[in-house]
Structure 1
Amino acid sequence: MNKPKISIIVPVYNTELYLRECIESILRQSFMNFEVLLVDDGSTDASGSICEDYAAKDTRIRVFHQTNQGVTAARKCGILHSNGEYLCFVDSDDTITSDALAILMEPLQRDIRDIDAVVSSANKDAFISGHEYVRMLLENEKSGSLCGNLYKRSLFKNCRSLDLDKDFPIGENYITNLELGLKIKQIVCLTASIYNYRYNPASVMHVRTYTLAYEEKFRETVEKTLGSEIENFEEAWYKCQLRTLETMIVHRVRFSYDRPWIHRLLKLRHNYSSLTLRQKIILRVRHAVLCRYLLGIEVRIKERLKCK
C-alpha cells in the first residue's frame, strides 16, 4: 500500500450500535488515498470485535486495543501510529458524507499556499491565520471540535493537550484546537457540512454533570494553553471567561461572585464596549437565580424576533 495522504483516526468505546455505520461512511469516500486507524479504548461490548472484522476485510484499516484511558489517549495512540501527511478525526458514533475527504482536500490540491489545516462547517469560506482561528474559538464563533477537519500531522508533534488526563472528558477537543491554532500559520475555513453528529444518549456530552471544579479547571487549562500569547487575545479571553460564567449560571452550578477570576471579570467590565446584551446581563446581575431568569427571557425575545 502506498503511503496514505490522510490518516483517519477513530477512537472507539462501547459504540457497537453505531460503529458499523461510522466505518462504512469512511470506506465510501470518493477520495480514496487514506488509511483508517480504529483505536479500541477498552470497550466492554462488541466494538473491539467489529473493528477486527473490518480490518480483516480491508487492508486500509488497522486496529489498536488499549485499556480504557479516555478519548484523548485513544487519539494520541492513533496519531503515533499514523502514516498520513494529514489527520482527520471521526468519533465512532458519528458519520461523514461520501465526499467529505474530497471536499477537505480540494483547497490543498488547488492552492499553492502552505496550508496547515482545513476546517468545515464555518460561517464563511475564507483563508485565515492561526491567530484569527484562536480568536474565533475563544469568542465561540467556531466549534472547538476536532472532528470533520484536516490537520497536518506535524502540528501534533509535542502537543501537550494530548496528555490531558482521563478526568478531562469534556472540552479536550477545544483545548487541542487552541494549541494547534497557536502553531498554525494558514488555515482554510469551509462552509461545507461534511460531518454528521449523532445524538447518543450514552455519550459523555449528554451524561455530564456541571460542577464548579470542572468549569474552573477548564478555564485554567485554557489560560495555561494560551500561555504568553494570552496578551494577544485580551478581549477574546475575557469573553471566553464570560462564557464559562454563563455556563455556571445556566446550569445551576453553585458559586460565589467573590471568586478571584469572577471578581476580575466584574471589575474589568467597563474595558470592553463590544459586549452583547447577554454578556452585559451576566456582568450586571450578580444574583444567579435572577440572572438565569433574565437570560431565559433574552433567549425567548430573540426567538420571537426571528419568527417575525
Structure 2
Amino acid sequence: MSPRISVVMPVYNVEQFVKSAIESVLKQTYDNFELLIVDDRGDDNSMQICKQFIGDPRVHIIRHQTNKGLAAARNTGIRHSLGEFVAFIDSDDLWHPEKLQRHVVHLDKNPNVGLSFSRSSFIDYQGKFIDFYQMPKLFDIDAAHLLCRNPVGNGSAPVIRRSTINDIRFQPASSKNRHSCYFDENFRQSEDIECWLRIAATTSWEIEGLPEPLTYYRLNHGGLSANLEKQYASWEKMIEKARGFAPKLLKQHEESARGFQLRYLSRQAIRIGDGSAAVKLFNRAMKASPSIIRSETFKTVTTMIAAYAQWIIPAWGYIAIEAVGQKFIGILQKLRISRDGVSSEFMQQSKL
C-alpha cells in the first residue's frame, strides 16, 4: 500500500540537529507516511546520522551528485514521492507528534484547501522552547495577504495536496535534465514564499492554517546583517518574477509588501543584536510603505521601539528590557491561542 503522506526533508550540514528532526517525524501518531531524506551533499556527518534510520521501512535516502540547494532538494523529494499529500520539514526544525494527524483531518474535511499549515512555536539553538509563537492569519487568505505577510511562515509548516502542487508544476527553460519543478531552483532564498504565492495567485486552491503550534521552528544561532541584505535581494527577485504571473496583484500591493518585508528584516536584525541595521531597515520600511503603521499598528510600533532602543541603549540594558517585553507578548499570544480553541493541556504536552 502506498503511503498517504510523503515527508520531504532536505539535509545539508545539519549534524547537530538532524537526528532530532528525523525522530520527530518517526514519532508521529499518524504513521502512514514515507520520509524522503534528500542528501544535498554537505561535508559534515549529517548523512552518517541519517543512515542510522534506514532500518525503518518508512525512511528512504535520495542522493544528489552535487549540492543544488534547498529548492532543488525539495523538488527531488517531490519527484520521488508517492503520497496523496506532501509535507516538508527542514532538517533543523521539529514537529509536534500530532502534526500529520491533524493536517490529514483538516485536508479530509476541507477538499477545497490545497495547502494546510500550522502555527509555529519558536525554539532556540539548543532546542529549548522560548514561549514565543508565529501568529499568522489562519483563514480567508488571499494572494494579497500571502504576498504581504506570508502566513505560512516557514518551510516546515505546510502539508500540501499532490494535486495542488501538480497545478503549479513547470518545466524550467534552462534545465539540462528536463525535470519538472515545483519550487524555483533559481532561488536560494525566498523559494518557499515564491511557491506559496504561485498557488494563491494562479490556482483556485484555498490556503488555511491550524491554530495549534504544531511546528517547532529553530532560530538560527547569531547571523550577519549582510545575510539580511541577501535575503532582501532574493525577495526582490521573487517580486520581479511575480510581475510575470500576477501583474495586477503586484500593481496594487507591491509597495505594502515591500514595507512589510523590510519591517520583518528589521525584526531579524533586532534578533541578531544589530540595532543600527534594525533602524535602517525600519526606516526603509516606512519610506516604502508608511501605511503599514495603520494596518498593523502594534507590530510596527513595537518594531520601531525595539530597533531604536537596541541602537541607543547599552546591550545589558536592552537585554533586560527585551526579556520583559518578550514575556508579555508571549502571554498575549498564549491567550489568543487559547481563545482559538487550543487547550492548555496541548500547550503543556507540546513541550515534553
The verdict on how the C-alpha distance between 1:114 and 1:278 changes in structure 2, with shifts beyond 3 A counting, is closer
The verdict on how the C-alpha distance between 1:210 and 1:181 changes in structure 2, with shifts beyond 3 A counting, is farther
The verdict on how the C-alpha distance between 1:282 and 1:26 changes in structure 2, with shifts beyond 3 A counting, is closer
Task: Supply the AA of the counterpart residue of 1:177.
Answer: W
How far did 1:272 drift? 8.2
Gaps of 5+ in 1: none
Q: Which residue of 1 aligns with 2:349?
A: none
Task: Supply the AA of the counterpart residue of 1:138.
Answer: C
How far did 1:209 drift? 4.1
Given that 1:89 and 1:149 are in contact with CA atoms closer than 8 Å, whether structure 2 keeps it comes out as: yes
How far did 1:248 drift? 9.4
State the TM-score, normalized to the length of structure 2.
0.65
How far did 1:102 drift? 0.4
User: What is the CA–CA distance in structure 2 between the aligned matches of 1:146 and 1:248, rounded to whole Å?
Assistant: 17
- 1:153 paired to 2:162: yes
The verdict on how the C-alpha distance between 1:219 and 1:50 changes in structure 2, with shifts beyond 3 A counting, is closer
The verdict on how the C-alpha distance between 1:24 and 1:181 changes in structure 2, with shifts beyond 3 A counting, is same
Given that 1:118 and 1:187 are in contact with CA atoms closer than 8 Å, whether structure 2 keeps it comes out as: yes
How far did 1:232 drift? 4.2
The verdict on how the C-alpha distance between 1:50 and 1:230 changes in structure 2, with shifts beyond 3 A counting, is same
Q: Secondary structure of 2:92's match?
A: coil
How far did 1:81 drift? 1.2
Given that 1:26 and 1:98 are in contact with CA atoms closer than 8 Å, whether structure 2 keeps it comes out as: yes
Given that 1:179 and 1:225 are in contact with CA atoms closer than 8 Å, whether structure 2 keeps it comes out as: no
- 1:128 paired to 2:134: no
* Residue from 204, 213, 226 that aligns with 1:210: 226
Q: Which residue of 1 aligns with 2:325?
A: 303
Q: Secondary structure of 1:15's match?
A: coil
- 1:28 paired to 2:27: yes
Gaps of 5+ in 2: 120-133, 171-180, 330-352
The verdict on how the C-alpha distance between 1:269 and 1:17 changes in structure 2, with shifts beyond 3 A counting, is closer
* Residue from 174, 179, 186 that aligns with 1:164: 186
Q: Secondary structure of 1:162's match?
A: coil
How far did 1:226 drift? 3.0
State the TM-score, normalized to the length of structure 1.
0.73
Q: Deviations over 1:120-160 (max 9, x none)?
A: 017478542442xx5155136x3531213211234251256
How far did 1:279 drift? 5.0
User: What is the CA–CA distance in structure 2 between the aligned matches of 1:127 and 1:244, rounded to whole Å?
Assistant: 21
Given that 2:292 and 2:300 are in contact with CA atoms closer than 8 Å, whether structure 1 keeps it comes out as: no
User: What is the CA–CA distance in structure 1 between the aligned matches of 2:52 and 2:268, rounded to whole Å?
Assistant: 44
User: What is the CA–CA distance in structure 1 between the aligned matches of 2:116 and 2:278, rounded to whole Å?
Assistant: 39
Aligned residue pairs total 286
- 1:7 paired to 2:6: yes
Task: Supply the AA of the counterpart residue of 2:184.
Answer: L
Q: Deviations over 1:68-96 (max 9, x none)?
A: 22222211211121111211111222221
User: What is the CA–CA distance in structure 2 between the aligned matches of 1:293 and 1:135, rounded to whole Å?
Assistant: 34
The verdict on how the C-alpha distance between 1:207 and 1:65 changes in structure 2, with shifts beyond 3 A counting, is farther
How far did 1:290 drift? 9.9
User: What is the CA–CA distance in structure 2 between the aligned matches of 1:303 and 1:195, rounded to whole Å?
Assistant: 23
* Residue from 110, 115, 118 that aligns with 2:116: 118
The verdict on how the C-alpha distance between 1:305 and 1:248 changes in structure 2, with shifts beyond 3 A counting, is closer
Given that 1:211 and 1:253 are in contact with CA atoms closer than 8 Å, whether structure 2 keeps it comes out as: no
User: What is the CA–CA distance in structure 2 between the aligned matches of 1:271 and 1:23, rounded to whole Å?
Assistant: 39
Q: Deviations over 1:220-260 (max 9, x none)?
A: 22322432121343564253254267469864459999xxx
RMSD value, Cα: 4.2
